[in-house]
Amino acid sequence: MSIMTDVSPSAARRRSVPRFVWVIAAIVALYLVAGVITPSFATFDNMLVIVRAASITGIVAIGMSYVTISGNLFALSAAALGAFLAVIFALAVGHLGFAAGLAATLLVAILAGMAQGLSISVVGNPIITTLAFSTVFRGLAALFSGNSIVRIDSDIALALGTGRPLGVPTQSWAFIALALVSWALIRRARLGRLLVLSGANPQTAIASGLNVRLATVVAFVALSVGVAIMAVFTVSQFSQAKADLFAGYDFDYIAAVLVGGIALRGGQGSPLQAALGAILIALLQNFMLLNGFTAGLRMTVVGGLVLLATGAFHLLQRRLR
């Protein structure tokens, strides 16, 4: 019997359903059910609130997906780096103007990503390394800000942070664009294939002559740029930055990646899945807020969702082997 005839039609159909389809199905189901239970949930204004919330988390989650896909699990330094870059942006805009301040922030972000990627290439433990960098970045944020609020006065920044082209927040347009560009990069570009192959099997990638260390550096630079974009939008929206900004947000970024179905072991997935994960979590959070769920209960539910998603995807993967 041939290999082709050994594979049943039902098995072939199961293999043809990618993980992101399940996430989209969950988004649609939650939207429909929540809309029936809470009519105010499905209004246009509330959808804009949800999209804005998903955008801030999703922009960083897209960057985090590069780290996970490249086989480096996840970073525990994103929130602290966001605070540091927010302070840098606020100070730079005040002294140099918006354009130069933006350029300076992106430069610092790239350097921070390179530092983390190179350190992990040497130490080999992304969890411990990024945890240490988290303390460094939070300390630098406090040092540069003088432990006080840094305010900015820029019409360009304010327009960026509060603008609504075609009625949609600028953050949301950036989120959509970044998701599509990142998807194309992972799927079509040579650099994207390097990240995927390095994450799938580092030893084989090295034996094939691929630069796995470069993949790690690129992944963390991508994360840092995503964090910088998020920091710029946040400071522009609220016209201020401080050292404790984004405290406690690291779990949200990681949760979006996991709920989106990106394989934690690396080598599989797409930044688009992280974006979908952020949307699903934002929908759930909004529904709970509208129905008066306490903060503790909301955290419990989201944590349960992460456990459910990772467990379900793990079982699905085992079933298809």
pLDDT, tens only, 57-84? 999 999 999 999 999 999 999 999 999 9
Is the Cβ–Cβ distance between 286 and 268 less than 8 Å?
A: no
274 found inside a domain: yes
Q: What is the DSSP string of 164-201?
A: -GGGS-HHHHHHHHHHHHHHHHHHHSHHHHHHHHHHH-
> Closest Cα to residue 254, out of 129, 67, 106, 119?
67
User: Which of helix, strand or coil describes residue 150?
Assistant: strand
Please compute Rg for the chain using Cα positions: 20
Q: What does the mean pLDDT of the chain come to?
A: 92
Share of the chain above pLDDT 90, in %: 83
184 is in which domain, residue-wise? 40-320
- Mean pLDDT, residues 168-187 taken together: 94
> Closest Cα to residue 27, out of 47, 44, 13?
47
| Residue 204 predicted with pLDDT over 50 | yes
State both tokens at 140: 């630098």
> Closest Cα to residue 159, out of 169, 167, 147, 172?
169
| Residue 49 predicted with pLDDT over 80 | yes
**What is the pLDDT, as a whole number, of residue 265?**
86
| Residue 88 predicted with pLDDT over 90 | yes
**What is the pLDDT, as a whole number, of residue 184?**
93
> Closest Cα to residue 63, out of 242, 237, 236, 278?
278
9 found inside a domain: no
**What is the pLDDT, as a whole number, of residue 315?**
80
| Residue 239 predicted with pLDDT over 70 | yes
| Residue 143 predicted with pLDDT over 60 | yes
CATH code (residue 264): 1.10.3470
| AA letter at 201 | N
**What is the pLDDT, as a whole number, of residue 8?**
46
State both tokens at 90: 């606020």
| AA letter at 126 | P
**How far, in Å, CA of 309 to CA of 243, rounded?**
33
| Residue 320 predicted with pLDDT over 80 | no
Query: pTM for the full model?
Result: 0.91
Tell me the pLDDT tens digit for each residue of 156-166: 999 999 999 99
**What is the pLDDT, as a whole number, of residue 9?**
44
**How far, in Å, CA of 56 to CA of 281, rounded?**
12
| Residue 13 predicted with pLDDT over 50 | no
113 found inside a domain: yes
Q: How many domains does the chain have?
A: 1
State both tokens at 223: 């994360």
**What is the pLDDT, as a whole number, of residue 18?**
77
23 found inside a domain: no
15 found inside a domain: no
Q: Which helix (H) or strand (E) holds 283?
A: helix 271-290
168 found inside a domain: yes
95 found inside a domain: yes
**How far, in Å, CA of 280 to CA of 282, rounded?**
5
**How far, in Å, CA of 11 to CA of 202, rounded?**
29
25 found inside a domain: no
| Residue 15 predicted with pLDDT over 60 | no
Residues present in the chain in total: 321
Is the Cβ–Cβ distance between 310 and 262 less than 8 Å?
A: no
**What is the pLDDT, as a whole number, of residue 7?**
42
